[in-house]
Amino acid sequence: MPGHKGKAPECLPEGLQEAYRYDITEISDADNLYDPQGIIKESEENASEIFGVKTFYSTEGSSLVIKTMLNLVCEEKSYIIAIGACHKAFYHAAKLMNVEVEKIASKEVKSLLRSVIALKKTPPVGVYITYPDYFGNVYNLKNIKDVIMQISDEFGFKSQIPLLVDGAHCAYFRFLDNERYPEYVHPSEIADICCTSAHKTLPTLTGAAYLHISENFSHMYPKVKPAMDIFGSSSPSYLIMASLDAFNAEADKFREDLKVFCEKADDLKSALSEMGFMVNTSEPLRITVIADEKYSGADFEEALKTHGCEAECFDDEYVILMLTPYNTDEDLKRIKEAFTDLKDGKIIKNGSKSTSKYNCLRNFS
């Protein structure tokens, strides 16, 4: 195995044919993701140095990591407190672990946390939050962490309640200019356990993700690989692992490229705002434009499509764009031109509801 033996079907593009040569499985000297002793172990250690916290690889996205996170902290018939909207992977994991989810709103976190715990009379196995949300809004994780510790002391709990963070969209926060963007902190700096999807904002293949665990929960390190092995494929992709490993070598360059690109992204957001569009305050690499009485989200999407731009997500009320330093100046120019043409009436507005058959926000509740 693999069945292709390194040889691709001739009908495929040449570049994709080349990838088949490197698509391998657990063979001699290739190491094993769920029991790493060699090159994979070394690669994960390199990633841990980059992120400043113990880091593990996933080739099945944050969905696998979220299941692993809950497996590490949950006990059957226990409960976990979830703040705000969460991805369906979280609810799938809770169902698998037979864990009750107590949802609270993102406002008044302190009083709501206290009320739930007082009602339950036992500590939750964790407090879970999505950061940032799908519109690019972030919470002050340090404040939430402090509240959890205060409530734990107040109720006299012997063990620390872990803060779990789904940071699927913010792997790149680790490489931001902290002085320019102090509010966008990588979750591993505060959370006890968190996931980040490398493939969403870093130059890695789809499915590449990280699990980060703080030193305070180092007793969980040995449990990580067995937990991942329960939920993950027994044939993890070596191509995806190779892309994670390659990023380790590119991390410093990515940091420099990100610094330059964020300035360009900020300029684009400012330009759209100056045109009169409602640009939501959001993380640096996300552009969220809110619909108004003139334009619907479908209008935005139609204009972007006309200029060869694919939106990350849109609905009647908004359009969301996800950028990375691998977008070119020409890409940014086309985005600006799309909104300029819409404003100047060169693109006829739909004036109707969105025809999108898939909305990413359906994954959140």
For 108-125, how does the pLDDT look when each residue is reduced to its tens digit (9 = 90+)? 999 999 999 999 999 999
Q: What proportions of the chain, in percent to the nearest 5, are helix, strand and coil?
A: 45, 15, 40
- Report H helices in the chain: 14-19, 39-51, 61-73, 88-96, 109-120, 141-155, 198-201, 221-231, 238-274, 297-306, 329-343
pLDDT at residue 354 tops 80? no
Instruction: Please state the domain extents for the chain.
Output: 31-251, 253-363
Within the chain, what is the greatest distance between any pair of CA atoms? 67
Count Cβ neighbours within 10 Å for each residue of 222-245 and write b for 16 or more, e otherwise: eebbebbbebbeeebbbbbbbbbb
| For range 240-251, the mean pLDDT | 98
Could you tell me how far CA 135 lies from the centroid of its own chain?
A: 12
Q: Is 332 helix (H, G, I), strand (E, B) or coil?
A: helix
Comparing 27-41, 180-194, 299-313, 345-359, the range with the smallest average pLDDT is 345-359
Q: Does domain 31-251 have CATH number 3.40.50.2300?
A: no
Across the chain, mean pLDDT equals 94
Name the pTM for this structure.
Answer: 0.95
The sheet carrying 209-213 orders its strands as: 54-58, 209-213, 193-196, 163-166, 127-130, 79-83, 100-104
Q: Residue 264 corresponds to which tokens in the numbers above? A: 């360009």
Summarised one tens digit per residue, pLDDT across range 45-90 is: 999 999 999 999 999 999 999 999 999 999 888 999 999 999 999 9
Residue 15's identity, in one-letter code, is: G
**Digit-coded pLDDT (tens) for 286-305:** 999 999 999 999 999 999 99
Q: Give the per-residue pLDDT at 106.
A: 86
CA 24 vs CA 4, 236, 238: distances in Å: 10, 10, 6
Among the ranges given (63-77, 101-115, 248-262, 344-358), the one the predictor scored with the smallest mean pLDDT? 344-358
Tokens of 298: 């479908």
At residue 346, the pLDDT reads 83
Which of these, 336, 347, 349, lies nearest to 275 by C-alpha position? 336
pLDDT of 351 reads 55
State the Rg of the chain over Cα: 22
CA distances, 135 to each of 94, 221, 276, 278, 351 (Å): 24, 32, 19, 13, 23
DSSP 195: E
Q: What confidence score (pLDDT) does residue 208 get? A: 98
Q: What is the pLDDT of residue 361?
A: 79
Class of domain 253-363: alpha beta
Q: Quick one: pLDDT at residue 355?
A: 55
How much is the pLDDT for 107?
87
Percent of the chain with pLDDT over 70: 97
Please enumerate in sequence order all residues whose Cβ is within 8 A of that of 346, keeping only pairs 6 or more positions apart, or say none: none
